[in-house]
Structure 1
Amino acid sequence: MAYPVVLFIHSWLRWAVVLLVLLALGKALRGWLGGGAWTPADRRLQVLAVSAFDTQMLLGMILYFGLSPFTPPALEGGLRASLSVPSLRFFSVEHPTLMLLALATVHVASALSQRAEAPVSRHRLWALGLLLAMLLVAFAIPWAGLSHGRPLFRGF
Structure 2
Amino acid sequence: MPKGEGNVVAQNKKARHDYSIVDTIEAGIVLTGTEIKSVRAARIQLKDGYAQIKNGEAWLINVHIAPFEQGNIWNQDPERTRKLLLKKKQITKLQNDLKGTGMTLVPLKVYLKNGFAKVLLGIAKGKHDYDKRESIKRREQERDIKRIIKSVNR
More helix, by proportion: 1
Q: Which has the larger radius of gyration?
A: 2
TM-score by length of 2: 0.22
TM-score by length of 1: 0.22
